């Protein structure tokens, strides 16, 4: 009878112990999937290539939304080692720094999304697979320090390749790091990291690469430093095919895609005219080549005007077939 009057802490505990869930007892494949869900959830945004973006140009650099939860990294050392490796492999972080270049406007115009531009966060992180530094000789400002994902590096390099000649003529240093558990960065990973550069960059004479095999470095530099087009015939063939595609899109009622192709091609022609390649190609092709480039530019402007006219008429209301034919005449 007296036991009924004892306070709860003094009573015998007759409850069964709560079973403990041990995360590390799960198979490694299951743990890796959990890490991916928690640490590799960065959302994609609509892709807009250089000069192919809807207007107006945004006023704020686009940041990638994510729901990454890093608290699991603080549970234990073993979980930290496993999860951190998955986070780095799943995201592949790239650091971009620049000095003397208007990188902010470059990112805005080309709609290249970043993780963060907070210098404290960017500099404190040590899990980058690559660091690309751009420097414009003679200028100390502005300075930028950015973090982006490897998946957006292809877009970044494409914009560099089609951008103003200032980006082509400035100094570039590309450092690649082995942040994984392997003693050496596998060859296929080195090639993967260099692919955006070898695909989109040409006539970049001042780019240096470290952190990859010597023969791979030499081949990449040869590709990056050579001319985008070897002969005037290559230039004419490329832009003629582009214009044919733009006309085909227009005749198929897809004036938006046609306009994008024209704007992009016009930008490429302007960049070619201002590049180091122009003088060499002009020496080979002579005045005839120069005239053919002018003619191609006029063709693109003419098709772009048709796209604009068609878009205006479409916005005004339903069109008759005769109106559509008149717009294409």
Report yes or no: 187 and 212 within 8 Å, Cβ to Cβ: no
Place 47 in a pLDDT band, splitting at 50, 70 and 90. very low
Q: Which structure tokens are listed for 321? A: 């077939």
- Greater confidence (72 vs 168) lies with 168
Could you give phi then psi for residue 145, rounded to 5 degrees? -140, 110
Biggest CA pair distance of the chain: 114
CA distances from 59 to 56, 124, 134, 153, 188 (A): 9, 27, 23, 21, 38
Q: Which of 272, 265, 270, 271 is nearest to 302 (CA)?
A: 265
Share of the chain above pLDDT 70, in %: 79
Its pTM surpasses 0.75: no
**Around Cβ 263, how many Cβ atoms within 10 Å?**
18
Reply yes or no on whether the pLDDT at 327 is more than 80. Answer: no
- For the cut 50, the answer to whether the pLDDT of residue 279 exceeds it is yes
Q: In what order do the strands lie in the sheet with 207-210?
A: 143-149, 93-99, 128-135, 171-176, 207-210
Domain ranges of the chain: 26-225, 232-328
pLDDT per residue as tens digits for the range 189-222: 899 999 999 998 988 889 999 999 999 999 999 9
Helical ranges in 66-170 per DSSP H: 77-91, 103-110, 119-124, 153-162, 165-169
């Amino acid at each position: 009878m007296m036991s009924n009057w004892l306070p709860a802490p003094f009573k015998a505990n007759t409850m069964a112990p709560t079973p403990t869930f041990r995360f590390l007892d799960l198979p490694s494949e299951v743990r890796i999937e959990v890490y991916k869900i928690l640490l590799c959830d960065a959302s994609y945004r609509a892709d807009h290539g250089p000069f192919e973006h809807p207007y107006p140009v945004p006023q704020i650099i686009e940041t990638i939304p994510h729901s990454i939860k890093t608290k699991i990294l603080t549970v234990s050392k073993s979980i930290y080692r496993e999860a951190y490796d998955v986070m780095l492999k799943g995201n592949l972080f790239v650091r971009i720094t620049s000095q003397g270049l208007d990188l902010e406007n470059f990112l805005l115009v080309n709609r290249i999304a970043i993780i963060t531009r907070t210098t404290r966060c960017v500099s404190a992180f040590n899990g980058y697979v690559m660091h690309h530094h751009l420097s414009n000789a003679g200028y100390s400002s502005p300075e930028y320090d950015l973090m982006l994902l490897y998946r957006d590096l292809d877009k970044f390099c494409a914009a560099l390749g089609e951008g103003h000649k200032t980006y082509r003529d400035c100094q570039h240093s590309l450092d690649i790091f082995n942040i994984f558990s392997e003693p050496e960065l596998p060859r296929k990973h080195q090639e993967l990291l260099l692919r955006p550069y070898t695909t989109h960059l040409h006539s970049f004479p001042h780019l240096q690469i470290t952190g990859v095999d010597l023969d791979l470095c030499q081949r990449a530099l040869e590709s990056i430093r050579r001319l985008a087009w070897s002969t005037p015939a290559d230039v004419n063939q490329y832009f003629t095919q582009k214009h044919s595609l733009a006309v085909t899109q227009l005749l198929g009622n897809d004036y938006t895609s046609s306009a994008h192709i024209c704007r992009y091609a016009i930008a490429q022609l302007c960049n070619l005219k201002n590049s180091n390649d122009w003088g060499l190609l002009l020496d080979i092709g002579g005045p005839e080549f120069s005239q053919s480039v002018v003619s191609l530019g006029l063709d693109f402007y003419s098709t772009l005007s048709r796209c604009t006219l068609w878009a205006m008429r479409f916005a005004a209301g339903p069109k008759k077939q005769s109106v559509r034919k008149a717009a294409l005449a």
